[in-house]
Amino acid sequence: MYFRSYKVDKTRLQHLLAFQKTLGFKFRDVDLLNRALTHRSYVNEDPSSPGNNERLEFLGDAVLGMVAASRLFTTLEDKAEGDLARIKSFVVSEEALSGMARSLGLDEMLLVGKGEERSGGRNKKALLADALEAIFGAAFLDAGFEKARDLVLTLVTPEINKVLSNTHRKDYKTLLQEYAQKHHKTCPAYTMDRKTGPDHDRTYWMNCVLMGETYGPEPGKTKKDAEQAAAALAYDAIIATGGAEAELLQSVKKL
């Protein structure tokens, strides 16, 4: 027994059973799945709860990394280590994982505290990505590595294919940083222009500063989203100039 037993109420149990059908994975111990879907903010407000999903997330992150790396290694024999690492970084990114989580309806299944709920916590990419990793960890404990691997592959294989066909959503902050370090030995900086909207529906406006040029401000519902938007603006502007700057874009397209 890895965790203290916790009685899941009938309504929650029905929801968990339905979610398992969508997930395509049946847990022998449904408490593990419930734990994977429990954010620490919920535990802080419910003393009877057995704990949050952070330890399962730690385990699931390792399972995800191993499965993704193994699949890339065995199927992309013509790719160098750097290319494999770049593809993996997209596949296991917060952006990709949160998208998978939403497609499963995981956002509706998360147990979050009232404060986190008011701040839109169940829609935060980090919380969704962490919960999905926790599910991978729970699946490993529940059924072993092979079953957990099959679950992970069902979700990440389409993401691998997106990267290979260049139809994935780019991590522009990483791309811009790689370009800046390679060609100019520097890094972009991000500054906040302003915040708008009420606390429960905040919009952040961020600038990207690189080589004395300011790009933005661009909006986002989180600072990270706004930074991505500003980085995309800067990156597209740089690529449009051609020359050496276009080299990085071409290398990404080849993935």
Give me the torsion for CA of 106, 107, 112, 116, rounded to 10°. 160
Question: Which region among 42-51, 102-111, 199-208 has the lowest average model confidence (pLDDT)?
Answer: 42-51
Burial 65-85 (b: 16+ CB within 10 A, else e): bebbbebbeeeeeebeeeebe
Which two tokens mark 29? Answer: 């111990």
Percent above pLDDT 70 for the chain: 90
Question: Which of 106, 139, 164 is a domain's end point?
Answer: 164
Which two tokens mark 21? Answer: 């059908």
Task: Report the candidate in 131, 126, 107 with the shortest Cα–Cα distance to residue 36.
Answer: 131
104 lies in the same domain as 127: yes
Q: What Å distances lie between residue 186 and 173, 180, 251, CA to CA?
A: 13, 5, 20
Give me the torsion for CA of 138, 144, 157, 64, rounded to 10°. 60
47-64 pLDDT, tens digit per residue, is: 777 789 999 999 999 999
Question: Which of 130, 164, 198 is a domain's end point?
Answer: 164
pLDDT of 178 strictly over 90: no
In a domain, 217, yes or no: yes
CA distance 6 to 86: 41
65-103 pLDDT, tens digit per residue, is: 999 999 999 999 988 988 888 789 888 988 889 999 999
160 lies in the same domain as 209: no
Q: Which residues are designated catalytic?
A: 61, 133
152 lies in the same domain as 206: no
Which range marks the domain in which residue 136 is found? 10-164
pLDDT of 195 strictly over 70: yes
**Total domain count, the chain:** 2
> Mean pLDDT of all residues in the chain?
87
Cis peptide before 217 (omega within 30 of 0): yes
153 lies in the same domain as 79: yes
The kind and range of the H/E element at 23 are helix 10-23
